[in-house]
Structure 1
Amino acid sequence: MLTKDLLRYRVHKQGVHPQLLEPDSPELLAFAESLLALFAETNGQTRTSLQERVNHAIAEFPDNVTIARGLEKLLLDRTKFDEDASGELPALREKVFAASGAQLASGLPEHPEEYRREIAVALGLTPEALEAQLYQDLSAHHPVLAFKPLSPEGLLHRYNCAQVQGLLIRCAKLDLEFPESEPARLRQLLKSLRFHQLLARISRTPDGATLVQVDGPLSLFVQTQKYGFNLANFFPALLHQPGWILRAEVQVRKSETHQLKLDSSCGIRSHYRPFLAYVPEALQLLQQNVAAKLPEWTLEAATDFLALEGEQYCFPDFLLKHQSGAQVPLELFHGWHTGPLRARLAQLANCPEPPLLLGIARTLLKDVELNGLLEASDYFQSYGFLFRDTPSVERLRPVLERWLGLEDSEGLPLFRL
């Protein structure tokens, strides 16, 4: 991810336009290859040593230095440093102080180099090794452990992707339109939305396109940074769609909002693999607990859209299946889902039959008004529950029992594309 000072964009009237690189430029490919070679050869070297070599390469770069620093930042993000200071470091320093005191007691040395050498010899080390170990907990002396390589062209595409991601971190609203998206690919995209804990409003436009509306981090009042990174990390998944249009309201200057518009012709290549079903460890544990404590139920990731009132659709997180054939969708709302939860409560208040269960993070109760809405919601009181980090079987059990008490629990409609 690029920091704001490394973003390159042009503001014209009400629009903001990211300045993308040409990924097939011979000059840029050659420079990217030289940087990659420097990072590939640094195992065991310190951060300072790496930085000196990179600075030398950047000084000879004929183009905009912001481009070079952006590429450097992306490569540093792929570099693993040993930041765990040795547990023996305090003891080593104590030995150095003791040896230093003994040396100084016998008189001041004529040259600092001689003094350092004598201290190192007293500890059975070379001066270079002693210096490296003595300051191992300082960032400049962290050694490189590993570097994750990629191709020069891949680095330039990653740079272009990061330019857009850096703008999306600062967006208030994101609309995605898919004129002719394939159902299977769209399901992959919505699974990725869920994986990044982003809630979206899904509807059809008058001309039949699928519209996905996502709240931006600047529309929230809590956990905006975490949500912003989640939204930015979702963008590479969008690039796998065959046809898409992105519109976002972005705040690149204080109190000024500009329009970002991109589509699938932008030429940015995703560095993500096509999204596959993935269940985090905590939710794998929930699946195991459901199997152990509620053997008549099975829990799996949802794969279908759920039709709601007013030509709206949602994509639940999970689907609980009962041995009787009943199917119960479950939608989770996390700490930054205040707006989507308000909209969902208003929507469900008018439903003749309950279409899904609601799991709501306790952190949302810090919003006094939202807390009042939940207390006053008959729907939530019957078919909702609270959770801390992940849902628990103990919280699920009573709402599932109420669900099974419905006269027509087997006919709950799932909308399929």
Structure 2
Amino acid sequence: MASFALARCSVQGDVVVPHWLTERDYPWLADLIEAYTAFVGEPRRRLDDTLAAQATGAAQAPPGWRMAAQVLDRVFRTEIAAVVKPARARAAVFQASVSRDSRARILERVARDLGTTALALERSLFADLAGERLLRAPDEPVHVSSLALQCNLAIAQAALKRSARVEITLEGNARAVVRHAKLRGLICTVSRSPGGDTTLEVSGPLALFKQTALYGRHLAELVPMLPWSRRFELRADCTLHGREARLTLTPADPLPPGLAPKRYDSRLEERFAREFARATKEWTLIREPEPVAAEGTLIFPDFALVHRREPHRRWLLEIVGFWTSGYVERKLRRLRAAGIDNLVLCIDESLDCHGVALPEDCPVLRFRKRVDPQAVLKLIEERDGPGRVGPGVPLRGEHQPTCPQRVAPLRRPSCGDS
């Protein structure tokens, strides 16, 4: 879809100009929805034949037509309708075809053995092929206005996947956006302006050397979260059609809001919380403590670790997703400059996006697939000398970890993606 969506973006000077779908596109969008609806319950190939005929017909297809069709493909899914599993049906017919009987007789004999009819068997033979799967109606009717908005979202996301650097300024709902960026492992720094706005500076896929496609999809997920903010402005330095230009998105652009923001928990974090609670009774794990200011940026730890009998012993823990050696080193430098030495940085070795290894003595906790609570506790004990009192991070009344919503061992397991 990206190529068709990018075709809706032009570069004028040094500015990316998205050509949004608006009410003037509603007539042909309605025709497209009607074409899909007419083939519900039919093999997908029949719809494909009709669409191909329209695309090559005398009347030129409107710009954005292919992109809109791909958006509808996500809504009108297909399903296999077969009395006999297709693989089993093919195997049975293949084995029976060694005889010299006619095709009809072979089908009748095999169908009788499988307890079905020859017609049902024949329909089952290739029912799992993409073109033979039946088109299924969506759970809810597709409205032309929502289709236009989803197409616009695809345009914005396609352009964002061609970015090297993204800056997002938010008023309201900033924590949910930052949380989601962290959940998806995006490489970003967060700062707060004197006026209270939050600014995220995010590396774009083109700034990385590895895992750029997956990273680009995760970055694009931020776009539908932005309309939930009272005010936002996204600025992205992109390379489109061989030229460098800037994309700007604001509330004035016709973009659809995603689902209402909610708490995001990854399986990785949930597993760590669960295992940490079993590993020690001396420490309490608190979810989402207040952000830490460091060299003009904000760092959002995932957990605060507070000793039950000595609450002045407080550590922060952050689990890093995608990373480069430069990103980790900059974060550590900011922490040192701010005098913050009670933060444990955990990095997943499999999510290195640069291919340049960190020095062996770099003060981070490396892991693969899971963060080992015992390794975290060992690291804390090594750094937490006798009588050490950390710099202390205000938790807005959470010095005594009694809030059930933020004490990690008391939270129910989440089904969020890692």
Q: Do the structures match in fold with TM over 0.5?
A: yes
Check if 1:317 corresponds to 2:302. yes
Which of 88, 97, 100 is the aligned partner of 1:100?
97
Structure 2 partner of 1:298? 284
> Residues 385 and 396 of structure 1 are in contact (CA less than 8 Å); yes or no, is this contact kept in structure 2?
yes
Assess, with a 3 A threshold, how the Cα gap between structure 1 residues 94 and 414 changes in structure 2: closer, same or farther. closer
Structure 2 partner of 1:78? 75
Assess, with a 3 A threshold, how the Cα gap between structure 1 residues 190 and 353 changes in structure 2: closer, same or farther. closer
Check if 1:275 corresponds to 2:261. yes
Q: Spell out, residue by residue over 1:290-309, the C-alpha distance to the aligned partner (whole angstroms, 9 max, x if none).
A: 1111223333431532111x
Alpha-carbon distance in 2 for matches of 1:322, 1:61: 75
Alpha-carbon distance in 2 for matches of 1:261, 1:98: 62
Which of 363, 375, 379 is the aligned partner of 1:399?
379
Letter in 1 for 2:367: F
Assess, with a 3 A threshold, how the Cα gap between structure 1 residues 233 and 17 changes in structure 2: closer, same or farther. same
Check if 1:170 corresponds to 2:155. no
Letter in 2 for 1:412: V
Alpha-carbon distance in 1 for matches of 2:388, 2:209: 41
Query: C-alpha displacement at 1:135, in angstroms?
Result: 1.9
> Residues 4 and 64 of structure 2 are in contact (CA less than 8 Å); yes or no, is this contact kept in structure 1?
no
Assess, with a 3 A threshold, how the Cα gap between structure 1 residues 59 and 303 changes in structure 2: closer, same or farther. farther
Assess, with a 3 A threshold, how the Cα gap between structure 1 residues 61 and 361 changes in structure 2: closer, same or farther. farther
Check if 1:329 corresponds to 2:316. yes
Structure 2 partner of 1:160? 152
Structure 1 partner of 2:220? 232
Query: C-alpha displacement at 1:205, in angstroms?
Result: 4.7
Structure 1 partner of 2:406? none
Assess, with a 3 A threshold, how the Cα gap between structure 1 residues 398 and 98 changes in structure 2: closer, same or farther. closer
Within-5 A mapping of 1:362-377:
362-363=349-350, 369-372=356-359, 375-377=360-362
Structure 2 partner of 1:130? 121
SS at match of 2:221: helix
Structure 1 stretch 292-301 or stretch 401-410: which is displaced more?
A: 401-410
Structure 2 partner of 1:4? 3
Letter in 2 for 1:245: E
Which of 371, 387, 409 is the aligned partner of 2:367?
387
> Residues 185 and 322 of structure 2 are in contact (CA less than 8 Å); yes or no, is this contact kept in structure 1?
no
Q: Spell out, residue by residue over 1:111-151, the C-alpha distance to the aligned partner (whole angstroms, 9 max, x if none).
A: xxxx5433322323656533432223432223446634343
SS at match of 1:269: coil
Q: Percent identity?
A: 24
SS at match of 2:231: coil
SS at match of 2:22: coil
SS at match of 1:227: helix
Within-5 A mapping of 1:334-353:
334-353=321-340
> Residues 36 and 152 of structure 1 are in contact (CA less than 8 Å); yes or no, is this contact kept in structure 2?
no
Assess, with a 3 A threshold, how the Cα gap between structure 1 residues 94 and 360 changes in structure 2: closer, same or farther. closer
SS at match of 1:411: coil
Letter in 1 for 2:377: R
> Residues 164 and 238 of structure 2 are in contact (CA less than 8 Å); yes or no, is this contact kept in structure 1?
yes
Alpha-carbon distance in 1 for matches of 2:144, 2:392: 54
Check if 1:266 corresponds to 2:247. no
Structure 2 partner of 1:412? 393
Alpha-carbon distance in 2 for matches of 1:64, 1:91: 42
Assess, with a 3 A threshold, how the Cα gap between structure 1 residues 297 and 95 changes in structure 2: closer, same or farther. same
Within-5 A mapping of 1:1-80:
2-7=1-6, 8-23=8-23, 26-28=26-28, 30-31=30-31, 33-35=33-35, 37-38=37-38, 41-42=40-41, 45-55=42-52, 64-80=61-77
Alpha-carbon distance in 1 for matches of 2:19, 2:93: 53
Structure 2 partner of 1:194? 182
Q: How many residues align?
A: 388
Alpha-carbon distance in 1 for matches of 2:353, 2:198: 34
Alpha-carbon distance in 2 for matches of 1:213, 1:155: 30
Alpha-carbon distance in 2 for matches of 1:258, 1:86: 55
Check if 1:140 corresponds to 2:131. yes
Query: C-alpha displacement at 1:28, in angstroms?
Result: 4.8
Structure 2 partner of 1:120? 107
Letter in 1 for 2:328: L
> Residues 32 and 152 of structure 1 are in contact (CA less than 8 Å); yes or no, is this contact kept in structure 2?
no
Assess, with a 3 A threshold, how the Cα gap between structure 1 residues 285 and 14 changes in structure 2: closer, same or farther. same
Assess, with a 3 A threshold, how the Cα gap between structure 1 residues 77 and 397 changes in structure 2: closer, same or farther. same
SS at match of 2:244: strand
> Residues 287 and 300 of structure 1 are in contact (CA less than 8 Å); yes or no, is this contact kept in structure 2?
no
The root-mean-square deviation of aligned C-alpha atoms, in Å, is 3.3
Which of 235, 242, 245 is the aligned partner of 1:247?
235
Structure 1 partner of 2:408? none
> Residues 302 and 329 of structure 1 are in contact (CA less than 8 Å); yes or no, is this contact kept in structure 2?
no
Query: C-alpha displacement at 1:229, in angstroms?
Result: 0.6
Alpha-carbon distance in 2 for matches of 1:319, 1:86: 55
> Residues 29 and 68 of structure 2 are in contact (CA less than 8 Å); yes or no, is this contact kept in structure 1?
no
Assess, with a 3 A threshold, how the Cα gap between structure 1 residues 198 and 367 changes in structure 2: closer, same or farther. closer
> Residues 355 and 413 of structure 1 are in contact (CA less than 8 Å); yes or no, is this contact kept in structure 2?
no
Q: Which runs of 5+ in 2 are unaligned?
A: 398-418
Alpha-carbon distance in 2 for matches of 1:361, 1:268: 34
Structure 1 stretch 68-77 or stretch 321-330: which is displaced more?
A: 321-330
Letter in 2 for 1:411: G
Structure 1 stretch 334-343 or stretch 75-84: which is displaced more?
A: 75-84
